Amino acid sequence: PKATRAKVSKLADLRGQRVRVFGWVHRRRDQGGIIFVVLRDGTGYLQTILSGRVAQTYEALTLTLESTIEVIGTLHPVPEGKTAPGGHELSVDYWRVIGSAPGAEDAFTNRLNEKSDPSIQADLRHLVIRGENASGVLRLRSYLLNAFREAYASENILEVNPPCLVQTQVEGGATLFKLDYYGQPAFLTQSSQLYLETCLPSLGDVFCVQESFRAENSHTRRHLSEYTHLEAELAFIDFNDLMSHIEEIICKTVDILLANPITAGLIKSLNPSFQTPTRPFTRLSYVEAITWLNEHQIQHPEEDSSGNPIKDEQTNQINMVDHKVGDDIAEAAERQMTDIIGKPVFLYGFPAELKAFYMKKMDDKEGEGEKNVRYTESCDLLMPNVGEIVGGSMRISDEEELLAAYKKEGIDPSPYYWYTDQRKYGTTEHGGYGLGVERFLAWLANRYTVRECALYPRWPGRATP
Ligand code: 4AD
Ligand code: MG
């Protein structure tokens, strides 16, 4: 009988029938003249059995991992006491090699394994992504983006596609990638926030999924030079609404993933101790966080006026000091904090000096007694094992206040005329946030670094493959 052509993920309905499948040789095991080949086609894994005549050919004996093959045979449920992906296996009666792979002497099968040097793994990323863990993370990432979109759709929030090529900064001039744009200076976008704000009077609340670029010389577990930035902007809300909305979107997205057996299975295998976050998330003001850090003896390096750590002259060790109000909470301290707390936590109300120019100031001065500190309606969401995954704030809605903020930051307001206009043509209280998709995935799938969560990650010095 004629074989039905199918992808591995669609085989459950074809048990007992003859099927035809294409894929890559993922694993091979030889046992008493029988060859067990696990086939991978991107939708799943299929155990195939080559025995008797079909296993006795030159092609079968020399079949290498990562070769592409076509197989035809009858699909059986696995015999009792045995397991196979999907619960079935294919007894092959015809097969052929489509493209062979070099085999044991080759980089992939020989040089590349979990212990190989990170630079080799980075050079061979195009082959690494064929592995079960790497492809599992990328598979989860695809479903994650769908789940976010579903969560926004359920709130009637529209997706827009802002530009990558821009002539304004959002998060400070120091981390801009500059380029020549037909003879004019331009940048790769750091954040689509300003564009999202302009959509509010047109489309209402909006979100986008856009690459952001940061020329940061940070070689850390959570910094990329290019990352996928999920951003949203909401009108007619207050600061409390903003934080509730972030909780809602994150919890809804996680619920969608856990309700789907495919993604629930991926999360379970990549991150067996995953804990579903529960609402409301803990909220800690910046001032409370400083106290918390000192109570837990989490210090930070003492810095000179240009931000370099000060070393003790005798011991040559970096001086560690307590945190005080006004200090930035650096990555190391933030990570220790989230690891101790062990669940999502909102830090909110950062001093204006530490934050971007567009942020709305708090009405009353929190942290009485701390002179000259203006706090902002800003929040960072921290997750265990990763730290900051979301940064958000309410925005300045008053034109005069915004003009003063440009001035303070040393920004020429003229290229921002369209952003300023937002305050002239029917201003409103509004706010929004950005979420680092790779950081979110690192939390969800318990990855050591965001570099495992991007298809082809970019960091200082790395733009290949
Ligand atoms: O905190 P950030 O810089 O905030 C903004 O860009 C706002 N304009 C967003 C907004 O309000 N629409 O970045 C937001 C998030 C961070 O919390 C982090 O998750 C991620 O973007 N992020 C990075 N991820 C990977 N590599 C980097 N270099 C990142 N920089 C920020
Ligand atoms: Mg931030």
Q: pLDDT (tens digit, 9 = 90+) per residue, 9-32? A: 999 999 999 999 999 999 999 999
Distance 392 CA to ligand 1 centre (A): 9
Distance 354 CA to ligand 2 centre (A): 10
Compute the distance between CA of residue 372 and CA of residue 352 in angstroms, rounded to an integer.
Answer: 10
User: 404-410 — which CB contacts under 8 Å span 24+ positions?
Assistant: 405/357, 405/358, 406/357, 408/357, 409/357
Selected residue with higher pLDDT from 415 and 308? 415
Compute the distance between CA of residue 122 and CA of residue 108 in angstroms, rounded to an integer.
Answer: 12
Contact residues for 192 (Cβ-Cβ < 8 A; gap 6+) = 162, 208, 210, 212, 229, 231
Distance 416 CA to ligand 1 centre (A): 21
Give me the half-sphere count of Cα atoms (radius 13 Å) on the Cβ side of residue 366. 18
Average of per-residue pLDDT across 34-52: 97
Of 357, 369, 380, 368, residue with least CA distance to 435: 380
Query: Is the pLDDT assigned to residue 367 strictly greater than 50?
Result: no
The ligand placed nearest to the CA atom of residue 383 is 1
Compute the distance between CA of residue 70 and CA of residue 62 in angstroms, rounded to an integer.
Answer: 16
Other CB atoms closer than 10 Å to residue 217's CB: what's the count? 12
Tokens for 315, please give them. 């011991």
User: 402-411 — which CB contacts under 8 Å span 24+ positions?
Assistant: 402/358, 405/357, 405/358, 406/357, 408/357, 409/357, 411/169, 411/357
pLDDT (0 to 100) of residue 110: 61
Ligand 1 atom nearest to 192, measured from its CA? 12
Residue whose CA is at the smallest distance from ligand 1 atom 18: 436
Distance 436 CA to ligand 1 centre (A): 6
Using most ligand atoms within 8 A of CB, pick from 245, 386, 439 the residue to mutate for ligand 1: 439
Compute the distance between CA of residue 273 and CA of residue 256 in angstroms, rounded to an integer.
Answer: 18
Compute the distance between CA of residue 364 and CA of residue 407 in angstroms, rounded to an integer.
Answer: 23
pLDDT (0 to 100) of residue 364: 64
Q: pLDDT (tens digit, 9 = 90+) per residue, 70-97? A: 999 999 999 989 889 999 999 999 999 9
Using most ligand atoms within 8 A of CB, pick from 198, 227, 379 the residue to mutate for ligand 1: 227
Distance 160 CA to ligand 2 centre (A): 22
Using most ligand atoms within 8 A of CB, pick from 148, 160, 168, 191 the residue to mutate for ligand 1: 191
**Mean pLDDT of the chain, nearest integer:** 93
Query: Is the pLDDT assigned to residue 244 strictly greater than 80?
Result: yes
Say if CB 436 and CB 231 are below 8 A apart.
no
pLDDT (0 to 100) of residue 279: 92
Compute the distance between CA of residue 406 and CA of residue 396 in angstroms, rounded to an integer.
Answer: 11
Q: pLDDT (tens digit, 9 = 90+) per residue, 387-438? A: 999 999 999 999 999 999 999 999 999 999 999 999 999 999 999 999 999 9
Average of per-residue pLDDT across 448-465: 96
Compute the distance between CA of residue 252 and CA of residue 262 in angstroms, rounded to an integer.
Answer: 17
Tokens for 54, please give them. 């079909």
Query: Is the pLDDT assigned to residue 239 strictly greater than 90?
Result: yes
Say if CB 138 and CB 129 are below 8 A apart.
yes
SS3 of residue 412 by DSSP: coil
Residues with a CB atom less than 6 Å from ligand 1: 170-171, 191, 193, 214, 216, 223-224, 227, 229, 231, 388-392, 432-436, 438-439, 450
pLDDT (0 to 100) of residue 107: 56
Least confident residue range of 107-121, 163-177, 187-201, 319-333: 107-121
Residue whose CA is at the smallest distance from ligand 1 atom 20: 436
Compute the distance between CA of residue 163 and CA of residue 66 in angstroms, rounded to an integer.
Answer: 39
Q: pLDDT (tens digit, 9 = 90+) per residue, 90-141? A: 999 999 999 999 876 665 556 677 677 888 889 999 999 999 999 999 999 9
Distance 106 CA to ligand 1 centre (A): 39
Ligand 1 atom nearest to 388, measured from its CA? 17
Q: pLDDT (tens digit, 9 = 90+) per residue, 129-184? A: 999 999 999 999 999 999 999 999 999 999 999 999 999 999 998 999 999 999 99
What ipTM was reported for this prediction? 0.99
Distance 271 CA to ligand 2 centre (A): 25
Show the domains of the chain with their CATH numbers: 4-107 (2.40.50.140), 132-452 (3.30.930.10)
Contact residues for 132 (Cβ-Cβ < 8 A; gap 6+) = none
Residue whose CA is at the smallest distance from ligand 1 atom 3: 171
Q: pLDDT (tens digit, 9 = 90+) per residue, 343-362? A: 999 999 999 999 999 999 99
Give 371's pLDDT tier (boundaries 50, 70, 90): low
pLDDT (0 to 100) of residue 67: 96
